[in-house]
Structure 1
Amino acid sequence: MSANVVIPRPNQQSPSVVRRMLDRWPAALGLALALLQLATDDPDSPTGGLMVLMVATTAYVVIAALVRPSWSWAVVGVLSAVVLATGLTSAGPAVELGSLVAISGAAIVTGFVRRTWTRADLYRWQPYAAVAFLALSLGALWFAPETGRVLIAVGLIGHALWDLAHWRRHQVVSRSLAEWCLALDFTLGAGVLVLTLWPNVF
């Protein structure tokens, strides 16, 4: 009998640290944006975090209503442009907020017409999540700035959990957007909470 010849297999090197970091570019981008937002944060206003939460909420329900995960980044870009354009032409946040609420409402109606919300996955929860996050966002404006900021921070952290669910199940929005939004929402929410409740911590 001939002896078995064992052919050595080439070593499979684990991905380099740089490669792993590059793979996490959405989280890095979200973290950087959150830190920039915190660096320019107005301690007497909940508006900064409020806009982030509103854009994230609107983006999710629009992408879900269209059933177009591949459009995720494009939708966020368009919504950001809408907020920027309306902000430049108005003296306060009312127009920006009104625009996002109108877009969210149209998306929710579209989802019902197209029966998107009857799907047995994360799609079916989108209109209810949108209403909840929008209600919390707008409701925060009725309270004193400090209380409003705490509510927005809680909303952002809650939306981070919503992002995590989408990232893990890879549904509704692109995985890269869910990862970006998760890093942005959680970091900004935690930061606003700390800066509001313990303003002298830094």
Structure 2
Amino acid sequence: MDTNPSAPSPATTSSPVPSAGPDPGRPGGVGLLGTVVRRWPLVAGVALGGFQIALDDPHDVSGVLMVLLLATTGYVVVAALVRPGWSWPVVGALTVLVVGSRLAGAPPTGVLVGLLLLCAAAVLVGAVQGTWSRQDLYRWQPWSAAAFLGVSFAALAFDPDLGRVVVAVGLIGHTVWDVVHWRRHEVVSRSLAEWCAGLDLTLGVGVLLVPLWM
């Protein structure tokens, strides 16, 4: 029997096993790829906003105004249907309708009026169904729609350069509205709210910055 008190015990000689941290190469990791995978709606929205800025006419208000009206109409339509799971199909259908109308030769004014009428119809449907009396974000939908439609009318009333600034402020304001929906997880899906926030903020800030380097 070994009675040497100086002999280390097995417990004291074992080295600690380092805990495995997140793998940056996996979607759940903390690396760039993992962040992009987790935040794909935001990345997609920012990319689309940058693409829109690159193709947009800096002296025409209709292009950026359509984005604001499309976002406003999409939210109100989904809210009136009380179907958050339909967020992407609704916004996708509206986008196809707008792009298809423009490719078919419809004037920008006609497309804008069509979005305004559809937004107003959704507000009316929600009122008839009593949706706006709910005690959550639903009750604020008609008021937010009225505010963003007011911004749209104001933008059309000014000359294009000033009108674009007004729309940019409206887009940045809608970004805040997107974040509220994302945090509350109400009315629309979180992925759509995140995507819309990236698009609105990128486009709004881009519209304000474009004149500075032209």
Work out whether the TM-score is over 0.5.
yes
Deviation, 1:58, is 0.2
Question: Are 2:43 and 1:13 aligned?
Answer: no
Question: Are 2:146 and 1:95 aligned?
Answer: no
Whether the 8 Å contact between 1:37 and 1:188 is mirrored in structure 2 is yes
Deviation, 1:20, is 2.6
Give, in whole Å, the separation in 2 of the partners of 1:85 and 1:30: 21
Using the size of structure 1 for normalisation, the TM-score is 0.90
Q: Which residue is 1:117 aligned to?
A: 132
Q: Which residue is 1:152 aligned to?
A: 167
- Partner SS for 2:153: helix
Deviation, 1:98, is 1.6
Within a 5 Å distance, the mapping from 1:150-189 to structure 2 comes to 150-189=165-204
Gaps in structure 1 of 5+ consecutive residues = 1-7
Query: 1:13 corresponds to which letter in structure 2?
Result: G
Within a 5 Å distance, the mapping from 1:12-161 to structure 2 comes to 13-14=21-22, 15-16=28-29, 17=31, 18-161=33-176
Q: 1:52 to 1:9 in 2, by over 3 A?
A: farther
Give, in whole Å, the separation in 1 of the partners of 2:46 and 2:157: 29
Using the size of structure 2 for normalisation, the TM-score is 0.85
Whether the 8 Å contact between 1:86 and 1:95 is mirrored in structure 2 is no
Q: 1:115 to 1:199 in 2, by over 3 A?
A: same
Give, in whole Å, the separation in 2 of the partners of 1:140 and 1:119: 31
